[in-house]
Amino acid sequence: MKRLSERVIGISESETLAVAARVRKLRECGLDIVDLSLGEPDFPTPEYICEAAKQAIDSRLYFSYPPVAGYLDLRRAIASKFNTQNNINYTHEQIVVSNGAKQAIVNVLLALLDPGDEVIVFSPHWVSYESLIRITGATPVFVKANAESGFKVSKEQLGKAVSRRTKLILFSSPGNPTGAVYSRDELEGIAEVVRSNEGITVISDEIYEFIEYSGSHASIASLPGMADRTVTVNGFSKLHAMTGWRVGYMGAPQWIADAATRIQGQMTSANSSISQRAAYEAISGGPDRSLYMVEEYRRRRDLVYEHLCRLPGIKTGLPQGAFYFFPDIKDYFGTRCNEYVINDAQGLCDYLLNHSGVAVIPGDPFGDKNCIRIAYTRPERQLEDGLNRIKKSLALLQ
Ligand code: PMP
Ligand code: GLU
């Protein structure tokens, strides 16, 4: 008899990774797919970072288990980054290096949540937040922002969502999937609610920190009194194009960093030694050496925006960060083309994939049934090709 745990029955497959797997299969069958699904940099990891990993192997010094929370020099470099770039005074002892930002988030959720606890999640939200919260037995409480508010939750909305059971607030800024960036003033509004409710901690997911076009990114932990109330999560996947190296980290109040280290020590021991040496080089080099990629994302964003604005029935704003568009496509619900009937966002995504060979992701798992997510992590020529294909397929829907 196959008896899975209640825990795993309650969680879904990562929708982003599921679409990516589907694209891989279609390509194996020889189909020409323009993949605008996965939020993964298409650039190779910069050469100087790869070189550091090669040197680490050749030195033969990094073949043993690393310290659970990460190598001391890397944790010091991360603490110094927080200090100089984010104006947050975490010491190196408050830094835990993990297998991606994903594990950093899991560590905090496991450290703080019991069944019955609630986590307020600003929505639209990254797909994995919901399942990761459910794994702990806690309940996600989605506070929904709409396009009119720039997909940003107000302090009034947040205040209303807080209950006796609220233990955490979780959000990403710049945001996946909307690209929304909370200004310092908006973060101050959130901080006011946190300060007036003892026992609530914030997880601020800042993985897209430097993939930002408005210059207004700020860290909530840098606001008065908030460093003690905030876990700041970040990582190397996005800015440095290091998704496969699996390095993320948190800066946290000491009691949370200690608990996260305890959990990580039991679960994965530590992050890969060679990846940490590469990450050390990346963070020591600073963001500037990787910003050429952000410039390219900005050009792509502008290009995709121009195309989307010309498509009838598609409503979108101009995202301020990350590398996604999250347009409203509900005008197409109830339309059809031959055997394809579009009842919802999933129907539209299936149509686009099967009819025009373009992969995008339905908005439902991100918290908005009327939207789709388009990742512009592809070169301009491919984006043009994908958008032209979308345009042709949409024009056939009646
Ligand atoms: N947070 C957000 C908002 C993301 O989009 C992602 C996806 N990469 C992650 C965290 C996890 O990143 P990592 O590759 O560092 O695990
Ligand atoms: N975070 C990226 C995305 O949303 C990568 C895939 C994942 O980890 O979800 O597409």
- Please tell me the residue having the least CA distance from ligand 1 atom 7: 39
What pLDDT does residue 2 have? 86
Q: Which residues of the chain have pLDDT under 50?
A: none
What pLDDT does residue 184 have? 97
Interval between CA 249 and ligand 1 midpoint (Å): 11
Q: Domains of the chain by range and CATH?
A: 6-44+290-395 (3.90.1150.10), 65-286 (3.40.640.10)
Long-range contacts of 130-134 (CB under 8 A, 24+ apart): 130/365, 131/11, 131/12, 131/14, 132/102, 132/105, 132/106, 133/109, 133/170, 134/7, 134/10, 134/11
Interval between CA 336 and ligand 2 midpoint (Å): 30
Interval between CA 237 and ligand 1 midpoint (Å): 7
Is the C-beta atom of 38 inside 6 A of ligand 2?
yes
Tell me the two tokens of residue 14.
């990562």
Q: In the chain, what is the straight-line distance between the N-terminal and C-terminal CA atoms, in Å? A: 49
Considering every ligand atom shown, identify the ligand nearest to the alpha carbon of residue 107 and give its number.
Answer: 1
What pLDDT does residue 318 have? 97
CA distance 255 to 266: 17
What pLDDT does residue 379 have? 97
What pLDDT does residue 158 have? 98
Is the C-beta atom of 140 inside 6 A of ligand 1?
no
Interval between CA 206 and ligand 2 midpoint (Å): 14
What pLDDT does residue 213 have? 96
Interval between CA 127 and ligand 2 midpoint (Å): 8
Q: Is-cis flag, bond preceding 46, omega within 30?
A: no
What pLDDT does residue 17 have? 87
Atom of ligand 1 nearest to the CA of 322: 5
- Please tell me the residue having the least CA distance from ligand 2 atom 3: 39
Is the C-beta atom of 248 inside 6 A of ligand 1?
yes
Interval between CA 392 and ligand 1 midpoint (Å): 32
> Is 20 in contact with 35 (CB distance < 8 Å)?
yes
Interval between CA 101 and ligand 1 midpoint (Å): 6
Is the C-beta atom of 21 inside 6 A of ligand 2?
no
Considering every ligand atom shown, identify the ligand nearest to the alpha carbon of residue 236 and give its number.
Answer: 1
What pLDDT does residue 1 have? 84
DSSP state at residue 65: P
Is the C-beta atom of 150 inside 6 A of ligand 2?
no
Neighbouring-strand partners of residue 248: 98, 235
Interval between CA 4 and ligand 2 midpoint (Å): 26
Question: Closest Cα partner for 366 from 324, 308, 309?
Answer: 324
CA distance 179 to 321: 4
Is the C-beta atom of 37 inside 6 A of ligand 2?
no
Non-local CB neighbours of 256 within 8 Å, separated by 6+ positions = 108, 111, 112, 201, 231, 250
Is the C-beta atom of 14 inside 6 A of ligand 1?
no
Atom of ligand 2 nearest to the CA of 38: 10
For tokens 């958008």, name the residue: 387
Burial of 336 (0-12, 13-18, 19+ CB in 10 A): middle
What pLDDT does residue 7 have? 86
Question: Closest Cα partner for 393 from 324, 312, 303, 334?
Answer: 312
Q: Which of 126, 210, 233, 247 to mutate to test the pocket of ligand 1 (most atoms within 8 A of CB)?
A: 126
Is the C-beta atom of 128 inside 6 A of ligand 2?
yes
Interval between CA 205 and ligand 2 midpoint (Å): 13
